[in-house]
Structures are given as structure tokens and as C-alpha cells.
Structure 1
Amino acid sequence: MSGPETVDRVLMTAAVVFVVVAVALLFVRISRGPSMLDRAIGLDVFAAVVIAGLGAKSAFARDSFYFPIMLVLAFLGFTGSVGIARFIAVRDKPLAHRRPAGGKGEK
């Protein structure tokens, strides 16, 4: 093996180790919580770690096959995060500021 190939192999191995450690720590965060928001953030970061893992695999194989998959996962992670944030924002509003079920508030 030449010098650059050795460096590539070491860096790819380090990337895989970091991704595995990140996934293990994320499973701890998702299982422990303590709140729904912590779990939602953990799942969002999990999507980012999966994308990073696919990027490392793509770099190791020198193949661009996974780029569209990474793009779709990024889009799904973003829309999921926005949806959860909107749900939590509505859920955590004080009752005085919520509109009645009829649709229009009193003035």
C-alpha cells in the first residue's frame, strides 16, 4: 500500500468509528429522553448521522450512487423536524392564547 492509500484507509476507518459511536450515543439519548423534544432532536440527529454514514460509504467506494438517497433523507429529516417543532409549539402554548375549536377567536 502506498502512503495516500494508507491515509485514506485510516481516515475511512476513523469516520466509521465516529459514526458508530454517534449512533450508540443517540440511542441512549432517544431512550432516556427525558422529554419529547429531546427524543425528536435525537431522531433528527440520527438522520444526519445516517447521511454522514452514507457519505463515508460513498467516499470509501468512490461511488456517487448514494447521493440521491442522502438528499431524500435530508429532506425527510428537515420536514420531520419542522413538523415536530410546530406540533410542540402548538402543544406548549398557554391555553389563553389558543383559539377555540370553532376557528375564530373572540375579540
Structure 2
Amino acid sequence: MSGPETVDRVLISAAVVFVVLSGALLLFRISRGPSMLDRAIALDVFAAVVIAGLGAKSAFARDSFYFPIMLVLAFLGFTGSVGIARFIAVRDKPLSRGKPGGKEDRT
């Protein structure tokens, strides 16, 4: 193994260690999150960590087999985040104080 290949292997191994550590911390946040929004955001970040782990595995094996899987996971993570954001936006929407029809009584 040449020098650059050794450096590649060491850097990819370090990346895998960081991905595993961040995944463990995210699992802790998902289980102990103080609110549902914290848990939802942690699940979204966990999807990104899984994508990063697949990218590291793909780089380590020098194989592009996982790229379509990473693309699908990214799409699912994005749609999940948008769905959660819309749910939170509807839930936190302030109630209108006016009468139905938009006309207020000014007496």
C-alpha cells in the first residue's frame, strides 16, 4: 500500500469513528429529547448521519453502489423535515380574533 492510500484509509477510518460517535449521541437525543421537535430534528440529522456513513463505506470500498441509496435517503429526509415543519406550523398557528368572514365588530 502506498503513502496516499494509507492516508486515505486513515482519514476514512477517522470519519467512520466520528459518524458512529455522532450516531450514538443522536440516539441519546432521540430517546431523551425534551420535546417532540427535538426528537424530530434529531431523526432528521440521524438520516444525514446514515447518509454520511454510507458515503464513508462507499469511499472505503471504492464502490459507487450506495450512491442511489444515499439519494433516496436524502429525499426521504427532506420530505420528512418538510412534513414536520408544516405540522409544527399548523399546530403553532395563532387563532384569529375576528368574526368569520374577516369583518370585526367595532363597537
Provide the TM-score with structure 2 as the length reference.
0.88
Structure 1 residue 28: Cα displacement: 1.1
* Other-structure match for 1:59: 59
Amino acid at match of 1:20: V
Deviations 1:64-89 (A, max 9, x none): 11010000000000000000110011
Q: How many residues align?
A: 100
* Other-structure match for 1:106: 101
Runs of 4+ residues over 2 Å off in structure 1 = 94-97
Where in structure 2 are there 5+ consecutive unaligned residues?
103-107
Counterpart Cα distance in 2 of 1:12 and 1:34:
34
Counterpart Cα distance in 1 of 2:84 and 2:52:
22
Structure 1 residue 106: Cα displacement: 3.0
Structure 1 residue 94: Cα displacement: 2.3
Bigger Rg, which one = 2
Percentage of matched positions with identical amino acids: 87
SS of residue matched to 1:95: coil
Root-mean-square deviation over aligned CA pairs: 1.2
